Chain A
Amino acid sequence: MREVNVSLISDAVAEMCIEVNHVLSEDMSRAMKRACEKETSELGKKILGQLDENLKIAKEEMIPICQDTGMAVIFMEIGQDVHFCGGRLEDAINEGVRKGYTEGFLRKSVVDDPVIRNNTKDNTPAVIHYSIVDGENVKITISPKGFGSENMSKLYMLKPADGIEGIKNAILSAVKDAGPNACPPMVLGVGIGGTFEKCALMAKHALTRENGVHSDIPYVKELEEEMLEKINELGIGPAGLGGSVTALGVNIETYPTHIAGMPVAVNICCHVNRHISRTI
């Protein structure tokens, strides 16, 4: 048993919220550089050049990479031998978000109710997903999600008979619909299997995977590679103004499912695919 004071969690969350919104992780920065080299359209190259310059300015001058600093999505992997002390864990996480977004000059983009819509003015509450794992560590992953791309995400309840072709069509149709709205070049998180909510959660979690790393399952890895190629053949291009780079990565997670179904969720993220992890 290990005791972890929740104030450690608050402090980490606050720091991580600030860092992740100003400094794009190395895997994503590399993907953007590669995109610049691969893009064949002149306008596309110019836009990718601006996005590269944007990343530099953001880091050096501490201006958020994008004004939409997102709703804070937080994955908590908690070792089963951890005992939290010093207060409620969820309160501590939200306190960290409040501190990070307020002290870090990040945009407050959360409203208290989906219909009444008053801004909470501190970007809380976060959307928190907990999982219990082995050991006595706590791993925090923060992925602030902007809504330009979130709004273009889709969930399909496919039939088993739709097969892998059905999955491919679903992914391509989501990307075509998203087009310029999702701020391409985009990253796709895809969940296949499970239930309605499980596949959506897998799609979200898949976005936190390091860019360039593929699934361990051979057919899923192949599907990731094939989909990336097919998406880039759509010609949507940087900012949706045409070009050969429409996506930077396709990350797929799978889970056992019911004999009657094959849910597929496609969570789209823009090129500012922010993710940061820390283990306490």
Chain B
Amino acid sequence: MTKNLNVPLKKEEYAELRAGDYVYLTGTIYTARDAAHKRMQECLDKGEALPFNIENQIIYYMGPSPARDGKVIGSAGPTTAGRMDRYTPKLLDLGLKGMIGKGKRTREVYDAIIRNKAVYFAAVGGAGALLSKSIVKSKVVAYDDLGTEAIRKLEVENFPVIVVADAEGNSLY
């Protein structure tokens, strides 16, 4: 089923998505990949607050290429989600509701998705130029020193993703 959705979704709406749904996202999402996840985990280990409120939000596993002058962002496709698996169940338990990436996850992540009624989307890997056209704003909100791995707040318009794992335990892979 093809759907147009405004993100972040309402809490209960995440649970309604089904593996196989083709979805166009419009609204706010955040980026974080390997190094940012490591730092967020260090924050939690020290009992500190995360650099942005993840509750009900979607994280896009993505590190863009630099923007040319006058452009919002460079190439901006998904990276392999599995590298974030060590950190993900904790973030889901803390209120994260959605992830956008590509590739297989661990059993622990799928269980955490079910437990928290969350969702895992895939964007098409290697389509970074095309996907960048759906990003209308990008602002670094934390860990600027990490360069491409900084946390960015993105405004997206009709950003195309596919639900690969849903709250009922269905998975496309």
Contact = CB atoms under 8 A, between A and B. Distances in A.
Interface of A: 43, 47, 50-51, 53-55, 57-58, 61-69, 105-109, 117, 119, 121, 148, 151, 179-181, 183, 239-242, 270-272
B128 A50 contact: no
Interface string B130-164: 10110000000000001111000000000010101
Interface stretch (B45-53, B62-70, B86-94, B110-118): B62-70
A144 to B, nearest CB: 12
Chain A interface, >50% SS class: loop
B173 A179 contact: yes
A65 B164 CA distance: 24
A57 B103 CA distance: 24
A239 B123 CA distance: 9
Interface of B: 35, 62-68, 71, 74-77, 79-80, 82-83, 102-104, 122, 124-130, 132-133, 146-149, 160, 162, 164, 172-173
A180 B133 contact: no
A239 B121 CA distance: 12
A271 B77 CA distance: 14
B68 A62 contact: yes
Residue among B129, B130, B132, B172 with the highest chain A CB neighbour number at 10 A? B129
Contact of A50 (B65, B66, B130): B130
**Minimum-distance CB pairs A-B, first 7:** A181-B103, A183-B125, A67-B75, A54-B130, A64-B75, A107-B65, A58-B129
Given A57-B129, A67-B64, A181-B80, 19 more contacts: A51-B124, A54-B127, A54-B128, A61-B129, A63-B129, A64-B74, A65-B129, A66-B77, A67-B62, A67-B79, A67-B148, A68-B77, A119-B148, A148-B79, A148-B102, A148-B103, A151-B80, A179-B173, A183-B125
